[in-house]
Amino acid sequence: METPELSCSGFPQINQPMTAVTTTNSKNTVWFYLLFVYLLFEYGRLHVTLNIDFARPIMILIVIFTGMILLSNQLFTLKNKQLTLLWMFIFLLALFIPFARNNFYAYQCTKTMLLYMPFIVSVIICVNTIERLKMIVFICVLIMMYISIYAITHHGHGPGNYFLDENDLSLYINMWIPFCYFLFFYEEKWVLKLLYAVSLILGLAAVVVSFSRGGFIGLIAVALTIVMFSKRRLISLAIILITILFIILFSDESYKSEMKTITDTKESTAIERIESWKSGWNMFLDNPLGVGGNNFLVRFDEYQTDYFKRGMWGRVAHSIWFTLLPELGLGGVIIFSFILYYNIRDAFHLKRISIPAMKRETIYLNQLGQAFITSLAGFFASATFLSVLYYAHYWYMLGFIVAATSITKEMQMMQTIHLQKSE
């Protein structure tokens, strides 16, 4: 018996009838929408714009998410390797608190990571259908679009928090540019196609305006990964070449001069990074088990070279890897490596997934898988030169990847059941 094709209607609708693809639980609908509100506050800095920062809306939402997770009784029933490893990562951070040179810094670092968990777990629980996945990715793209516009109109700086620094801003934008690109080819509605195209252009412009060399490196990584894994390699290559030509023609000489210094190892900031990496490596050799979260800057005095001396606030590793290695030691490196491995594995699985009875859904997941791969490439290319280990970006992306993978497994299971019934 031939399997009928099941299709998803255009843009995601939350409360649509149950199908073989969708099993939306109405009880967590409000919870799901609160995720949007959280993202608007966390990244869009909505509370700053509205001048309600005194109300601590992000903390209120974290408390709400925590309560909903506990009431759902799903905290200990979620079986996922990335989530388990993430809990292990936080536990390792906590173990350092009584032994670190600065206990308070180690505690603050652990608390920061712990506060990410209610949102991550909520994403894994609530983003449980392809429709919801589409919607939250769409919202994230809109937020990136807003941040890009803000950066373009504010000399490369974003709306506070992570985005006051141009390097941090460009790193975040590079993570979401791939979603604009790949979903542009997925969408059939011209309005959504146009929106993704505009978001892509604005994101690229924001990275250029930021004058961030790390952002430019991340952008190159994104471009190379797109060409490498895209099914439309010639189109992708043409778009990238046009983008490069656009940057060359419309960027000023100061931007071109700044980007030329990327390969100059004798440039002052390049020397600073190299010296910091040397200090981080030597710190690790003396402390292979780690010195504790955020304790790199505390122990830096012991390891900084004679080349230069820095004050308290200049003591950063200038690299996600040289933050991880000395602060969390071999244990942290092993846990983080496994997390990264499973994220990449799941992203490639999404890219290759085939569910014949659900063609449109399959195409979306394929495009999303490519976007995840490219996003991770852009993040780590930039993060190699930035101390962003404890930033939320990568850890939230983990939540999205886990949610997408869980949805895929459910869809495959439903297809198997459908085929069995058909026989």
DSSP string, 196-261: HHHHHHHHHHHHHHHT-HHHHHHHHHHHHHHHHH-S-HHHHHHHHHHHHHHHHHHS-HHHHHHHHG
The mean pLDDT of 128-155, rounded to a whole number, is 94
Phi and psi at 37, nearest 5°, equal: -60, -45
Tell me how far apart the alpha carbons of residues 321 and 327 are, in angstroms, rounded to a whole number.
10
Start-to-end CA span in the chain (Å): 7
pLDDT surpasses 60 at 289 = yes
pLDDT digits (tens, 9 = 90+) for 354-381: 887 788 999 999 999 999 999 999 999 9
Q: With beta carbons less than 8 A apart as the criterion, state whether 151 and 163 touch.
A: yes
Residue 55's CB: how many other CB atoms inside 10 A? 11
pTM for the complete prediction? 0.87
* Angle, vertex CA 388, rays to CA 95 and CA 138, nearest 5: 115
pLDDT digits (tens, 9 = 90+) for 179-225: 999 999 899 999 999 999 999 999 988 988 887 888 888 988 998 89
CB burial string 290-316: b at 16+ within 10 A, e below: bbbbbbbbbbbeebbeeeeebeeeebb
Percent of the chain with pLDDT over 90: 57
Q: How high is the pLDDT of residue 261?
A: 56
pLDDT surpasses 50 at 103 = yes
Label residue 412 by pLDDT band (50, 70, 90).
confident
Tell me how far apart the alpha carbons of residues 6 and 159 are, in angstroms, rounded to a whole number.
42
